[in-house]
Amino acid sequence: MATRRIETPDGGVLAVETSGDPSGHPVFLLHGTPGSRVGPAPRGAVLARMRVRLISFDRPGYGDSTRLPGRDVAAAATDVTVIADALGLDRFAVVGRSGGGPHALACAALLPDRVRRAATQVSLAPRHADGLDWFEGMTPSNEHAYRQAELGQPRIAGQFQVRSRVIRRDPAQLIRNLVPELTPPDRTVVADIGIRRILHSTYRQAFRYGADGWIDDVLAFIADWGFAVESIRAPVRLWHGAEDRFSPVGHSAWLADHIPGAQLYLEPGAAHFGALKEMTDAIRWAAHA
């Protein structure tokens, strides 16, 4: 792995990590919410065998990346452009898991000459998507957080900062807090000690300097995304666990109906964290256009 800090035109910094084959097919991996550049990903040897160069970065406000107050989902396309230019990459693929899904779609919509393929896993749909009951099937804790966010940043900022400090001291706390709402498939996934260690690492990095990234993600999801998914022309692969309650399956179904030519894969017996085991297939598909 190699880590770089890349300056943005506004004087900020993006913390970027690359792994796999340095001369392989470039694929950006956009992390979940909350998350960081050291989150779940295939091992370097696996990426090398797939001939993939994987690029991940802390979204602004997470980990070592400078906060960008008021950012929208579309801002991810600017971040990816800055990183791709710094790394000398012309064209690339994007993969986004959970909260990274909307950001991957932003890249596909706004960078049509550069994004070869886009894949999402358990993604959200736009908050005011026509014909979608956004909260149907969502866990009570997620619904409560988003409804509070709609009342304004002050309603969530304090509680998110307190939670981030607790999680930074003990990353396992976030998983423990989620357990009561986990479906049986998700409980099986997070019971794996290796996966738990990876999740602990990504949460520790995500909240290294506070909860700003988490807060800004949530606010961005419920605001106008800054682009229309209907404008996407790159091939798109959508994956969703049929039993997901954190990002309900209706979100990917809506996206499949509105993104031209999108392929939707619904996996029975899988839920939100099932995306961790499906990620390798998503990256392989995205890389080999």
pLDDT in tens, 274-287: 999 999 999 999 99
Contacts of 276 (CB under 8 A, 6+ apart): 40, 97, 189, 195
- pLDDT band at 178; cut points 50, 70, 90: confident
- Model pLDDT, residue 172: 87
- Distance CA(122)–CA(242), nearest Å, equals 9
- DSSP 3-state assignment of 272? helix
Percentage of the residues of the chain whose pLDDT score is greater than 70: 100
Q: How far apart are CA 161 and CA 119, in angstroms?
A: 31
Say how far apart CA 3 and CA 17 lie, in whole Å: 4
pLDDT tens readout for residues 21-59: 999 999 999 999 999 999 999 999 999 999 999 999 999
Give the pLDDT band (50/70/90) at residue 112: very high
User: Tell me, what's the pLDDT at 31?
Assistant: 98
Strands of 13-20's sheet in order across:
2-7, 13-20, 52-57, 25-30, 92-97, 115-121, 236-241, 263-267
* pLDDT confidence band for 2 (50 / 70 / 90): confident
Looking at residue 1, its pLDDT comes to: 73
72 vs 168 pLDDT, higher one: 72
Q: How far apart are CA 221 and CA 30, in angstroms?
A: 15
pLDDT at 210: 96
Shortest CA distance to 95 belongs to which of 65, 34, 61, 54? 54
Count Cα atoms within 13 angstroms, Cβ side, for 5: 7
213-271 pLDDT, tens digit each: 999 999 999 999 999 999 999 999 999 999 999 999 999 999 999 999 999 999 999 99
User: 31: domain CATH number?
Assistant: 3.40.50.1820
Please tell me the pTM assigned to this model. 0.97
Domain residues for the domain of 210 are: 2-287
The number of domains in the chain is 1
SS3 115: strand
The H or E element spanning position 52 is: strand 52-57
